[in-house]
């Protein structure tokens, strides 16, 4: 039998339909892969018994002719999505042991489509980080290795680092991620997989532990563009329980992969070549432009003049919303409680012990910029700049259909690098944050390898709710890149 863990989701779906193997066999193969690769620390909670029970039910549905769009396909769920009866921690000590009595809308939709969850995937604590080193449950290791130093442990990116590592290591066929400022796209680039942050409002946020509510968006991470299209179709849709969910029909994203992009105009923003951009990343970007020209698309230089303010704006707005959202963790209702002499003392001790250093840092920044006397100087001004960033994109899309940029300024770096300088770490999201600030769809796909044998990604940005064009162009680029490399030992 084919090595089942090397199949793409689309391949496995078609072979399940033909009866070449069962959902139980496919799930069991992935459970073995999870057990064999525990050293990567990609999972916080494994649920093999639940997965096998769901696989048996999937086989029965298929026999009855009632298979769903993702029936029998083993996936992982980022541990930011509430899962009924299964521990949901947000990779934080303060939520350790918390078992929700409800299911998030997105994970519920995937379950309804027949997807089989193998467990909850590691992440940066409360999704705050770009390297998956802030998790209370330990850092995640990237399955890729440097040629020059094969023993060095590399970061998988963040915050969806567990999701990216698990997909790249063939532990799961696909995984859910969330993206606030690049947390699907940057780890996808670091791990040589594909991931898309849909338009804000495309997927419900209900039941997803909140970081920054005006930015957070769920999306799929998988090994191919087609797999992401299949999974997004199952994740997306209107949800009356989420006030920011958009009531709009969900297209068949897989049908958009026509392979024909002739006549499309692709924007190339001049502001995305800053000092310090890796030569290798710049060359991959230029190669991507050539692929699109060869396929009949026309590259057009555009300007996004407020890009240079995006990072600073993000690190005012996101921490402000974080400080508000995380005020609910007080030790009274759920999660960790550290006894104190008074109620205020209990609050202080619980939050001091329950939150890690990066989360505390962002709460402090956010509380400061929202405080009396500083609100207008920081938060109100940042919201105005955010509107200007969105306006830049709106003007650009009057003359182009999609925008092509690098995903990250470099390949994956070593664990421990830059941890003493938070600003250096924050710069990893310099190319992804503007898209998030404007609420636009952004997809990262692998486009080549660095001289050290590490994946490099390119990002495609689309108009609001035009994921179809993003997928169409991504499909063409994927075929041109012919990225067949995978981590050693996979």
Question: Counting every residue, how long is the chain?
Answer: 490
CATH top-level class for 2-261? alpha beta
Quote the CA–CA distance of 79 and 333 in Å, as a whole number: 20
> From residue 207, how far is each of 79, 106, 126, 218, 382 by CA, in Å?
11, 8, 14, 11, 28
Name the phi and psi angles at 308, rounded to 5.
-65, -15
Mean per-residue pLDDT, 61-65: 97
Quote the CA–CA distance of 170 and 29 in Å, as a whole number: 10
pLDDT at 417: 85
Structure letter (DSSP) for residue 440 = -
Mean per-residue pLDDT, 35-52: 98
Quote the CA–CA distance of 401 and 416 in Å, as a whole number: 40
- Which of 107, 53, 39, 52 lies closest to 78, judged by CA? 107
| Tally of CB atoms within 10 A around 279 | 9
Mean per-residue pLDDT, 360-371: 96
With a CB cutoff of 8 Å and minimum separation 6, the contacts of 241 are 105, 204, 206
Q: Which residues are catalytic?
A: 78, 159, 183
Quote the CA–CA distance of 167 and 172 in Å, as a whole number: 5
pLDDT at 21: 98
Higher per-residue pLDDT: 333 or 5: 5
pLDDT at 490: 84
Name the phi and psi angles at 444, rounded to 5.
-110, 135
pTM: 0.96
> From residue 10, how far is each of 249, 379, 429 by CA, in Å?
23, 44, 30
- Which of 337, 354, 336 lies closest to 97, judged by CA? 336
Q: What is the pLDDT of residues 152-189, one digit of tens each?
A: 999 999 999 999 999 999 999 999 999 999 999 999 99
Report the alpha-carbon angle 339-359-387, nearest 5: 135
Name the phi and psi angles at 488, rounded to 5.
-60, 135
Contact between residue 457 and residue 444 where contact means Cβ atoms under 8 Å apart: yes
pLDDT at 427: 75
- Using 50, 70 and 90 to split pLDDT, how confident is the model at 464? very high
Q: What is the mean pLDDT of the chain?
A: 96
Task: Indicate whether 348 pLDDT > 90.
Answer: yes
pLDDT at 1: 44
3-state secondary structure string across 58-97? HHHHHHCCCCCCCCCCEEEEECCECECCECCCCCCHHHCC
Q: Where are the domains of the chain?
A: 2-261
pLDDT at 428: 80
Contact between residue 412 and residue 454 where contact means Cβ atoms under 8 Å apart: yes
Quote the CA–CA distance of 182 and 203 in Å, as a whole number: 16
Share of the chain above pLDDT 70, in %: 98
Mean per-residue pLDDT, 375-391: 96
Q: What is the pLDDT of residues 111-152, one digit of tens each?
A: 999 999 999 999 999 999 999 999 999 999 999 999 999 999
Angle between helices 310-325 and 381-396 (to 10 degrees): 120
Name the token pair of 43: 């999972």
Mean per-residue pLDDT, 35-59: 98
3-state secondary structure string across 401-434? CEEEEECCCCCCCECCCCCCCHHHHHHHHCCCHH
């Amino acid at each position: 039998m084919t090595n089942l863990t090397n199949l793409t989701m689309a391949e496995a779906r078609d072979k399940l339909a033909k009866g070449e193997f069962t959902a139980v066999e496919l799930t069991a193969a992935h459970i073995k892969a999870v057990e064999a690769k525990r050293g990567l620390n990609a999972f916080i909670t494994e649920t093999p018994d639940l997965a096998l029970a769901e696989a048996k039910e999937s086989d029965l549905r298929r026999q009855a002719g009632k298979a769903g769009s993702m029936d029998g396909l083993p996936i992982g769920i980022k541990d930011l999505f509430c899962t009924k009866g299964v521990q949901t921690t947000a990779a934080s000590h303060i939520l350790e042991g918390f078992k929700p009595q409800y299911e998030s809308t997105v994970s519920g939709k995937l379950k309804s489509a027949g997807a089989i969850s193998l467990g909850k995937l590691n992440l940066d604590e409360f999704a705050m980080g770009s390297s998956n080193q802030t998790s209370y449950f330990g850092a995640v290791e990237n399955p890729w290795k440097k040629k020059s130093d094969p023993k060095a442990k590399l970061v998988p990116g963040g915050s969806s680092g567990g999701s990216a590592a698990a997909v790249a290591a063939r532990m799961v066929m696909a995984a859910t991620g969330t993206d606030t400022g690049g947390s699907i796209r940057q780890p996808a680039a670091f791990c040589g997989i594909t991931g898309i942050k849909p338009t804000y409002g495309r997927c419900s946020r209900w039941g997803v532990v909140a970081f920054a509510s005006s930015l957070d968006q769920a999306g799929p991470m998988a090994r191919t563009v087609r797999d992401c299209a299949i999974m997004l179709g199952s994740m997306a849709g209107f949800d009356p329980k989420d006030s920011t969910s958009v009531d709009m029909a969900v297209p068949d994203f897989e049908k958009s992969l026509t392979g024909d992009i002739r006549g499309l105009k692709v924007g190339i923003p001049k502001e995305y070549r800053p000092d310090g951009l890796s030569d290798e990343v710049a060359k991959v970007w230029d190669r991507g432009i050539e692929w699109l020209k060869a396929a009949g698309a026309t590259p057009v230089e555009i300007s996004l003049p407020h890009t240079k303010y995006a990072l600073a704006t993000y690190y005012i707005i996101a921490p402000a919303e974080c400080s508000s959202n995380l005020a609910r963790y007080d030790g009274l209702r759920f999660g960790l409680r550290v006894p104190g002499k008074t109620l205020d003392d209990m609050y202080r001790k619980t939050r001091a012990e329950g939150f890690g250093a990066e989360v505390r840092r962002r709460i402090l920044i956010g509380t400061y910029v929202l405080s009396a006397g500083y609100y207008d100087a920081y938060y109100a001004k940042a919201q105005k700049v955010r509107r200007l960033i969105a306006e830049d994109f709106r003007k650009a899309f009057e003359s182009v259909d999609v925008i092509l940029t690098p995903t990250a300024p470099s390949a994956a770096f070593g664990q421990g690098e830059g941890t003493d300088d938070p600003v250096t770490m924050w710069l990893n999201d310099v190319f992804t944050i503007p898209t998030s600030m404007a609420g636009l769809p952004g997809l990262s796909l692998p486009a080549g390898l660095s001289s050290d044998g590490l994946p490099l990604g390119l990002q495609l940005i689309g108009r609001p709710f035009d994921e179809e064009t993003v997928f169409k162009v991504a499909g063409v680029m994927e075929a041109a890149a012919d990225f067949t490399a995978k981590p050693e030992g996979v």
